[in-house]
């Protein structure tokens, strides 16, 4: 009611409005008149002055939902996840985990074997010769299970002497009060692994620290003030763009890359910064082709030489899909993807290492969030995607054996089923049923939250001592016959849709027979699209009396020799004054604006006569084909080309 009054929507005071006013008056008190919520906002703002910006996500965790309509249409949507209303509850859900299946605890097996040998040794009915042979067998089993330390080759160059980074708070792990409870017989859906010998083993201590960090971020938030980050692969709806939002809200300096440096792309990122940018944060958008060695070198040189940054975070998430390619169908696109996701990923890291080494930045290592995948050929038909991800895992070995370990530290993120992103977008419809098998799928925002937890100062400090492996796959690696299950789900869903479409067609045929075609037409949905509504209002003309104050000028000049301009018009980069105002006021053309610009540029022309089929036609036609063009489709068909040929733009080396 308050806003109705302010904006003039309340025009009549009826009995209902009177009753609401009486109820408001009955509840009136001095506190209500102080605009309580506004005062709270002012108080909260004063409280945070002088403190660094914080990343804290308060959105609802969502769940996948797939339904088949009565007409057989498969519709996918995101809904609020039941019983998980906040990210604190999300962290607790991740900590609850599931029953370990397929994982073998080597140390537990060793202890059980030794315990069994002690029982056998105590049996009196077994002679000493038999005991010796049994002992030899048990010793062989124990030795085969033992994890011998890996022999590492000598390091190249000087030994790495690691010092505490002066840029990060380094709290002690032992000083953290555990908040999130972890079951002893279950592995959390999000957990960390530590290198033991030549294998990665689940670490309950590191996992507890990680989950406590996530809980802290969900409740109190964390800051990325004065941190420099480089991200690739940050398209709309991706995990990367959600990470960018978190970094910007935390006060970081962020550099992102795009292969499409268009007005539309830049305005999208500008909107992201306007919505999530915080005090001191910056967002720099750079055009970049990760498949190009030249671009890799130029990008890193631009960051260090032109922007004057030293990178704290490197998040190389760029990639392209290779769907439908088996080993006999590898083509140039597969090689391009492999070069982008592996070869030039290593080149980016190498170029950053070179810049840090040349400047002797040994106390400020950069953390690399290495994107890994549980898909090691699991799905199939994806070209060299699996090979790219598996090969990047060698970086964990090379971190210890090569000379760049004091400049870069590694956190591998095995990214699970993330809904809505480009690579997994077509499979969204089966995510709903897949979760019934115990696999947890994630939204892009949830996965970004998981990864931002790996970038917390505490885990950053741990990765400076040893790499960590983060299993963020939601139990996907523990589901046997994963490819068969997803195929069965898809087949079942398509069968259900086909059945309902057949029933709908049969019902439609019955309805036509019983009620007639005209009756059916009344029940069909008709989509009404807006049409153009041009209004060229003639300006109001002043009366002759308005010139009475200029009567003293009469006779001063010879009117026969004066040039008189009787009208004027604006023609500029955005067309006329009407179309220019639309871009200034709204940032996009209306239907009328698109029609006017398409006509000015020459994409369409007005036609009055007989069309190719001999019918009379009055309206717009395409200038090239002379085919009729309805005004309601002009915006969708020509707007991209209009924007390419309008506005202030470069022509050669000049504006």
Please give the model's pTM, rounded to 2 decimal places.
Answer: 0.72
The per-residue pLDDT for 159 is: 42
pLDDT in tens, 347-371: 999 999 999 999 999 889 999 999 9
The per-residue pLDDT for 131 is: 66
Cα distance between residue 120 and residue 125, in whole Å: 10
Collapse the DSSP code of 518 into the 3-class scheme (helix H, G, I; strand E, B; otherwise coil) and give the result: helix
The per-residue pLDDT for 128 is: 72
- 10-residue averages of pLDDT along the chain (655 residues): 68 76 68 65 77 89 92 91 90 77 56 69 69 67 52 42 41 53 82 88 91 93 95 92 95 94 88 91 94 94 95 91 74 83 92 94 92 74 76 89 92 90 74 91 94 94 93 85 87 94 89 80 74 78 82 82 79 90 88 93 92 87 92 91 85 54
Cα distance between residue 360 and residue 184, in whole Å: 45
**Cβ atoms of 198 and 401 closer than 8 Å:** no
The per-residue pLDDT for 62 is: 92
Cα distance between residue 493 and residue 497, in whole Å: 6
Rounded to 10 degrees, the C-alpha dihedral 499/502/506/508 comes to 110
The per-residue pLDDT for 424 is: 65
For the chain, which residues make up each domain, given as ranges?
Answer: 2-48, 106-145, 544-644
Collapse the DSSP code of 206 into the 3-class scheme (helix H, G, I; strand E, B; otherwise coil) and give the result: helix
Cα torsion angle, 20, 21, 23, 24, sign? positive
Cα torsion angle, 421, 427, 433, 439, sign? negative
The full 3-state SS of 268-297, as one line of letters, equals HHHHHHHHHCCCCCEEEEEECCCCCHHHHH
Reduced DSSP (H G I as helix, E B as strand, rest coil) percent helix, strand, coil of the chain, to 5 = 45, 15, 40
Cα distance between residue 526 and residue 522, in whole Å: 9
Using alpha carbons only, give the angle 487, 489, 493 rounded to the nearest 5 degrees: 120
**192: phi then psi, degrees, rounded to nearest 5:** -110, 150
**Cβ atoms of 215 and 299 closer than 8 Å:** no
Q: Return the structure tokens found at 361.
A: 């930045």
């Amino acid at each position: 009611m308050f806003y109705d009054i302010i904006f003039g929507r309340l025009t009549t005071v009826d009995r209902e409005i009177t009753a609401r006013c009486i109820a408001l008056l009955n509840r009136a008190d001095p506190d209500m008149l102080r605009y309580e919520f506004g005062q709270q906002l002012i108080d909260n703002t004063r409280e945070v002055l002088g403190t660094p910006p914080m990343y804290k996500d308060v959105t609802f965790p969502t769940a996948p939902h797939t339904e088949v309509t009565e007409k057989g249409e498969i519709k996918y949507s995101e809904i609020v996840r039941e019983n998980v209303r906040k990210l604190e509850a999300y962290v607790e859900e991740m900590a609850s985990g599931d029953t370990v299946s397929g994982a073998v605890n080597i140390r537990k097996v060793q202890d059980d074997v030794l315990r069994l040998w002690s029982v056998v040794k105590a049996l009196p009915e077994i002679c000493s010769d038999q005991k010796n042979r049994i002992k030899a067998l048990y010793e062989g089993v124990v030795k085969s299970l033992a994890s011998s330390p890996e022999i590492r080759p000598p390091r190249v160059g000087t030994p790495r002497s690691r010092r505490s980074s002066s840029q990060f708070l380094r709290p002690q792990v032992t000083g953290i009060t555990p908040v999130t409870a972890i079951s002893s017989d279950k592995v959390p859906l999000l957990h960390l692994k530590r290198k033991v010998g030549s294998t990665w083993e689940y670490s309950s201590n590191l996992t507890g620290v990680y989950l406590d960090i996530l809980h802290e971020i969900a409740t109190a938030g964390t800051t990325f003030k004065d941190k420099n980050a480089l991200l690739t692969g940050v398209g709309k709806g991706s995990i990367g763009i959600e990470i960018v939002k978190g970094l910007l809200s935390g006060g970081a300096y962020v550099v992102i890359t795009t292969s499409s440096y268009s007005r539309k792309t830049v305005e999208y990122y500008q909107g992201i910064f306007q919505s999530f940018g915080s005090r001191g944060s910056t967002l720099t958008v750079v055009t970049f082709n990760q498949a190009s060695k030249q671009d890799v070198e130029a990008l890193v040189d631009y960051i260090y030489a032109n922007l004057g940054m030293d990178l704290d975070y490197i998040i190389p998430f760029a990639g392209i899909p290779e769907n439908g390619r088996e080993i006999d169908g590898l083509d140039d696109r597969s090689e391009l993807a492999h070069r982008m996701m592996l070869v030039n990923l290593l080149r980016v890291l190498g170029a950053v290492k070179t810049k840090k080494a040349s400047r002797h930045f040994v106390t400020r290592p950069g953390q690399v969030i290495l994107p890994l995948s549980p898909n090691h050929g699991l799905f199939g038909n994806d070209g060299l995607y699996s090979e790219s991800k598996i090969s990047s895992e060698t970086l964990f070995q090379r971190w210890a054996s090569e000379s760049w370990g004091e400049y870069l530290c590694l956190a591998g993120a095995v990214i699970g089923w993330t809904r809505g992103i480009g690579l997994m977008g077509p499979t969204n419809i089966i995510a709903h049923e897949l979760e019934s098998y115990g696999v947890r799928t994630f939204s892009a925002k949830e996965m970004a939250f998981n990864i931002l937890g790996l970038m917390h100062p505490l885990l950053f400090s741990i990765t400076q001592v040893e790499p960590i492996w983060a299993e963020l796959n939601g139990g996907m690696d523990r589901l046997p016959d994963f490819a068969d299950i997803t195929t069965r789900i898809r087949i079942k869903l398509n069968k259900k849709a086909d059945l309902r479409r057949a029933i709908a067609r049969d019902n439609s045929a019955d309805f036509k027979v019983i009620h007639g075609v005209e009756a059916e037409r009344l029940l069909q949905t008709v989509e009404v699209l807006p049409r153009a509504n041009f209004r060229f209002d003639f300006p109001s003309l002043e009366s002759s009396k308005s010139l009475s104050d200029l009567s003293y000028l009469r006779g001063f000049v010879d009117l026969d020799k004066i040039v008189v301009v009787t009208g004027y018009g604006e023609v500029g980069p955005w067309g006329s004054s009407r179309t220019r105002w639309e871009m200034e006021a709204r940032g996009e053309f209306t239907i009328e604006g698109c029609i006017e610009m398409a006509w000015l540029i020459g994409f369409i022309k007005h036609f009055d006569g007989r069309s190719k089929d001999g019918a009379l036609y009055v309206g717009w036609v395409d200038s090239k084909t002379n085919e009729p063009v309805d005004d309601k489709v002009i915006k969708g068909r020509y707007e991209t080309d209009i924007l390419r040929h309008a506005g202030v733009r470069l022509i050669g080396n000049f504006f």
